[in-house]
Each structure stands twice: as C-alpha cells, then as structure tokens.
Amino acid sequence: MRVAVVGATGMVGQVILKVLAERNFPISELYPVASEKSIGNNIQFNNKSFKVIGLEEAVSLKPDLALFSAGGDTSLEWAPKFAEVGTKVVDNSSAWRMDPSKKLVIPEINASELTSEDLIIANPNCSTIQMLMALKPLHDTYKIKRVVVSTYQSITGTGVKAVQQLENEYNNEQGEMAYPYPIHKNAIPHCDVFTDNGYTKEEMKLSNETKKILGDDSVQVSATAIRIPVVGGHSESVNIEFEKDFEENDVRKLLSEFPGITVQDNTSVNTYPMPIYAEGKDDVFVGRIRRDYSQPKTLNMWIVADNLRKGAATNAIQIAEYMLKNGLLPA
C-alpha cells in the first residue's frame, strides 16, 4: 500500500511512523510529507531513509492512504485534494470532527459505521478517546446520564515547543514559551483557547465528540482541562452518573473485557494508572474505581493513556487497519 504521512516531522507524525513499523502495516511506498522548510530532508523508517516531500507532490502521487497530523488549517485545505484523487484520509486535527458528513471514529467503539463512501475520516481528540474507551462498555450496560471530568494533560499534546519550554525551565534557561505562564512546577487550567461560554475548545471537544461517537445526545459532559508538567500521557478524573445502578466488581469485569482497556485497580498494593507507566503503550489504563457515596448510581474512575499513541497515532492506524481488513482500502 502507498501511504503518505502528512506532518511526518512533527511529534505525532514521528509516532505515526513508529507505530506503523511496530504493527507491520503493509507499506509498499512511504511518502513522508511536511512543510516547505522540511522538504528535501531525510527521515528514517524501518531502517531505510526517505526524502520528505511537499503536499502538492504527495497529491500527485495519489497514495492509497494519507495519515494527517499537520494541524486544522492544513487538513481543511489539503484533505479534500487527496480525497479528490481517491486517497483515503485519516485526519488527527479537529478540522472535520464535528462535520456531520464525516465519521468520527474510535475503532473499538464505532468503526462499523465506516463505508467505502468515507474518504475523510476524523480521529477524535486525545482526551476524548481515552475517556470513551472506558465509558463505552459502561454506557451500554448502565446508560450514562452525566459525566464530570477533569483532565491533567501532558505537554506533548501541545507539541515540541512545549516540551522545549519545560526543559528550559527545568534547566533554568531562557527560551521561547508555548504557554502564557511557566509550566515547570505549575498547573495551567487552560488547554486550547477560551470560548464565549467560558469553557475552552478542549473542554467542549470532550462534550461534543462524546455525543457524536456514542450516537447519544442525551449524555451530558462537563469538563475542565488542565495542562501539567508531564510527558507520558493524559490523566482524567471522571465522575459518571448512570440511569441504572451497578456493582463495582461488575464494572471492573466490563472494563477488563473491553478491547484496549487494562484495569489497574488494587489500592492495597498501590496499583493504579499513572502516565509514567502508560507512556509508549497503546492501551487505556483505568483504576481508582469506586462508588460516589455523595450521589446514587454514580461512579468515580481514573483514566490514563499515552496521548501520542492511543490518543492520536495508534487510533488513526487502527482505523486504517479496520478499513484494510474490511475491504475499504486496497489490499
């Protein structure tokens, strides 16, 4: 298969290349695509060197699949151009997620919605993916009414500039800042830009994308998103109110049986999810599972995942794998 990776030199793009190699995705020709400043540079994939090309050249090559991670503006302009030449596009940006004509896919949850007509497929927000991986089996059994979530998000979700800011501050060096405040020894309750309702775009993504992916507008989500000086993954404190009551052990069983979930929940030996253990892994880790004693039919959980892998690169590649397996991509 001829595969273009758009944004190949970026943080998520590099992880896409790594995960493609790890999962032995069938590639006959790889086209690393990046902005003009990177054209002509070489990148490594499977111990081979590939020259970075521009978007126009990539479109002219008519790849079978394009994995996009180059920002919303690039996706809005270029994803349709790839689609016009028959390329299937999986896009990591927010550009197409809430477009009613585009599918928003977490393969374990709703990949069956995909058809041969879908040329541009949206990858959900990183924090949405890990939350819904844990919520889906519980929603199917107990029916979720309301979710209150606080996210504690890795700086890698912002990008290379944020990682450099933390390193500079840790080493007491001056440098360019990705955030309006220091991130070292700090927590910034500000992910993405603020909207008119007082919530950030990141917080609203958790609400809007949940409804679309679950196909249920009745599920209410209230989110607060916080940036913390961590690199391994995002963590989420999630409070879920159900229509039906539950037993904690049944919740653990439902979660442990759901593909892509690992339950880490044994407080007697201090076993619970942490980003330091989630980093570099594809599963979503769930722990601190306990009843909320302040309100009936309500549960608390702690959910952690590597935001660059299942939150971005791995989920996009799993979408492509599903399409390949089901005849939606050329074998």
Based on the number of CB atoms within 10 Å of its own CB, is 217 exposed (0-12), middle (13-18) or buried (19 or more)?
Answer: exposed
Residue 71 has a CB neighbour count (10 Å cut-off) of 17
Asked if residue 12 belongs to a known ligand binding site, the reply is yes
What are the two backbone dihedrals, phi and then psi, of residue 171, each rounded to the nearest 5 degrees?
-90, 5
Domain boundaries, the chain: 2-123+312-326, 127-154+187-305
Based on the number of CB atoms within 10 Å of its own CB, is 179 exposed (0-12), middle (13-18) or buried (19 or more)?
Answer: middle
Token pair, residue 133, equals: 């991986």
Asked if residue 286 belongs to a known ligand binding site, the reply is no
Asked if residue 307 belongs to a known ligand binding site, the reply is yes
pLDDT of residue 181: 98
| pTM summary value | 0.97
CB 287 within 8 A of CB 319: no
Instruction: Give residues with Cβ within 8 angstroms of 292, minimum separation 6.
Output: 239, 298, 299, 300
CB 264 within 8 A of CB 271: yes
Asked if residue 291 belongs to a known ligand binding site, the reply is no
Residue 305 has a CB neighbour count (10 Å cut-off) of 36
Residue 170 has a CB neighbour count (10 Å cut-off) of 12
Token pair, residue 207, equals: 């609400």
Asked if residue 325 belongs to a known ligand binding site, the reply is no
Q: Is 127-154+187-305 CATH 3.30.360.10?
A: yes
Dist. CA 292–CA 225, nearest whole Å: 21
Q: Which fold has domain 2-123+312-326?
A: Rossmann fold (3.40.50)
What are the two backbone dihedrals, phi and then psi, of residue 229, each rounded to the nearest 5 degrees?
-80, 65
CA 279 to the chain's CA centroid: 14
pLDDT averages per 10-residue partition of the chain, 331 residues = 97 97 97 95 95 98 98 97 98 97 98 97 98 98 98 97 97 97 98 98 98 98 98 98 98 98 98 98 98 98 98 98 95 68
Asked if residue 74 belongs to a known ligand binding site, the reply is no
Helix or strand run (H / E) with residue 49: strand 48-51
pLDDT of residue 330: 81
Token pair, residue 147, equals: 């979710």
What are the two backbone dihedrals, phi and then psi, of residue 92, each rounded to the nearest 5 degrees?
-85, -10
Asked if residue 222 belongs to a known ligand binding site, the reply is no
How much helix, strand and coil, in percent to the nearest 5, is found in the chain?
Answer: 35, 25, 40
Catalytic residue set: 126, 234
